[in-house]
């Protein structure tokens, strides 16, 4: 957990986030071990190391640790509240949020100078959650708590991709710990510096300009998207107001490409969001026209580059179908659902 060494004395690759677990207390380490010892043993042979030379040499990880592994880095801040410090302990340790949300250097270590500035995971982009966030509406502690606890928020949409799994895991965590995580992250993110939603006149002007410049994308949006995203049905059943979409405002179009191609599957036994995927009904040219239109109409950011390449890659990798958490998220009743006779 702390040194990244297995029982045979081999160095573990830092995909196992021991560089964060160095912040976990002895008490919690003992509790984790006690819990794991109650699990039924399963025989699962480790796969052969398929990395190319020299990355297949575990001894090289010892040098990586000398450069980047730091011990005893977490220290409570006496100037902050107990709740804030609890959140800091969880975020920097067990939750290891920075493992996804922090960019990495050429050797795969987190860039300390860019904490929470956004990273890459499983063909998705983990958004910046510091003051570089491109979320059109700034995150607050209350919004973060709701999103992490329920898997969606009216100003920020629905958790998808790897983040849906995080929400699923947090469903079994005490609400007080989820609240502490939200309080800490809201505290360290600082004042947002990215652009935010402008006036309704700005939105109308962008809509007109986008439609004139990209009639193909506008037509696809009207046919495939507008009925949900402009239908007025509240989240999580209606489509999010795309003017609030971080995916559209993000400098990286991968998440939007993944959502458009894969959709959001319904979750059996749960009131949950659903969106059809368009991988089978749109070719790359059409998907590119749609994404370009969404970017121009619903954000004030510059156009994406290499968009067709991103879409082709998203299609090739066959992104895992998006799901909300498999656990009930206590979504409110659908106001448009009629009672069965």
- Using one digit for the tens of pLDDT, what is the confidence trace for 299-324? 989 999 989 999 999 998 865 445 55
Q: Which of 125, 129, 98 is nearest to 304 (CA)?
A: 125
Question: Looking at the predicted structure, is the pLDDT value of residue 341 above 50?
Answer: no
Q: 99-137: per-residue pLDDT in tens?
A: 999 999 999 999 999 999 999 988 899 999 998 888 888
First-residue to last-residue Cα distance in the chain: 57
| For range 212-231, the mean pLDDT | 91
Residues 327, 171 contacting (CB under 8 angstroms): yes
pLDDT for 322 equals: 53
| For range 315-334, the mean pLDDT | 60
pLDDT for 240 equals: 85
Question: Looking at the predicted structure, is the pLDDT value of residue 64 above 70?
Answer: yes
pLDDT band with cut points at 50, 70 and 90 for residue 233:
confident
pLDDT for 90 equals: 97
Give residues with Cβ within 8 angstroms of 278, minimum separation 6.
Answer: 224, 260, 261, 263, 287
Give the DSSP per-residue string, 102-136: S-B-TTS-B-GGGTTS-EEETTEEE---STT---S
Helix axes 162-170, 141-150, angle to 10 degrees: 90
CA distance to 29, 81, 84, 130, 325, per residue, from 176 (Å): 20, 14, 11, 22, 20
Q: Which of 113, 94, 93 is nearest to 102 (CA)?
A: 113
Domains annotated for the chain, with CATH where assigned, are: 1-35+51-73 (no CATH), 200-317 (1.10.760.10)
pLDDT for 5 equals: 94
Measured CA to CA, the distance from residue 206 to residue 299 in angstroms comes to 8
Measured CA to CA, the distance from residue 186 to residue 133 in angstroms comes to 12
| For range 240-244, the mean pLDDT | 89
pLDDT for 297 equals: 92
- Phi-psi region at 106: left, alpha or beta (left = phi > 0; alpha = psi -120 to 50): alpha
pLDDT for 268 equals: 67
DSSP state at residue 244: G
Q: 181-214: per-residue pLDDT in tens?
A: 999 999 887 655 544 555 556 667 777 887 888 8
CA distance to 51, 202, 219, 257, 273, per residue, from 286 (Å): 37, 26, 10, 12, 25
Q: 1-47: per-residue pLDDT in tens?
A: 999 999 999 999 998 999 999 999 999 999 999 999 999 999 988 88
Question: Looking at the predicted structure, is the pLDDT value of residue 267 above 90?
Answer: no
Tokens 């629905």 -> residue? 158
pLDDT for 126 equals: 94
Residues 64, 14 contacting (CB under 8 angstroms): yes
Question: Looking at the predicted structure, is the pLDDT value of residue 226 above 90?
Answer: yes
Residues 28, 94 contacting (CB under 8 angstroms): yes
Question: Looking at the predicted structure, is the pLDDT value of residue 79 above 70?
Answer: yes
Measured CA to CA, the distance from residue 249 to residue 88 in angstroms comes to 28
Q: 147-181: per-residue pLDDT in tens?
A: 999 888 888 888 888 898 898 889 889 999 999 99
Handedness of CA 341, 239, 221, 255 (dihedral sign): negative
Token code pair at residue 131: 């003051």
């Amino acid at each position: 957990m702390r040194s990244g060494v297995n029982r045979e004395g081999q160095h573990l690759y830092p995909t196992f986030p021991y560089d964060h677990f160095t912040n976990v207390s002895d008490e919690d380490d003992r509790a984790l071990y006690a819990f794991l010892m109650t699990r039924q043993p399963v025989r699962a042979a480790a796969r052969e190391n398929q990395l190319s030379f020299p990355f297949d040499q575990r001894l090289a990880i010892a040098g990586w640790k000398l450069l980047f592994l730091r011990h005893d880095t977490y220290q409570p801040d006496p100037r902050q509240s107990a709740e804030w410090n609890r959140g800091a302990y969880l975020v920097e340790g067990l939750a290891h949020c920075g493992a996804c949300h922090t960019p990495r250097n050429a050797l795969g270590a987190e860039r300390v100078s860019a904490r929470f500035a956004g990273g890459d995971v499983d063909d998705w982009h983990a958004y910046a959650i510091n003051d570089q966030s491109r979320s059109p509406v700034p995150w607050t502690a209350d919004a973060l708590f709701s999103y992490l606890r329920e898997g969606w928020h009216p100003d920020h949409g629905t958790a998808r991709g790897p983040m849906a799994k995080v929400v699923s895991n947090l469903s079994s965590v005490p609400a007080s710990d989820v609240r502490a995580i939200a309080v800490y992250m809201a505290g360290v993110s600082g004042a947002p510096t990215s652009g935010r939603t402008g006036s309704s006149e700005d939105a109308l002007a962008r809509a007109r300009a986008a439609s004139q410049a990209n009639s193909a994308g506008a037509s696809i949006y009207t046919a495939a998207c507008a009925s949900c995203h402009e239908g007025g049905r509240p989240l999580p059943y209606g489509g999010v107001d795309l003017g609030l979409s971080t995916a559209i405002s993000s400098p990286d179009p991968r998440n939007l490409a993944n959502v458009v191609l894969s959709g959001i599957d319904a979750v059996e036994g749960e009131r949950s969001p659903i969106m059809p995927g368009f991988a089978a009904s749109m070719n790359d040219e059409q998907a590119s026209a749609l994404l370009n239109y969404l970017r121009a109409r619903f954000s004030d950011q510059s156009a994406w580059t290499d968009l067709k390449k991103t879409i082709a890659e998203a299609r090739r990798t066959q992104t895992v179908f998006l799901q909300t958490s498999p656990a009930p998220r206590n979504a409110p009743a659908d106001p448009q659902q009629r009672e069965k006779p």
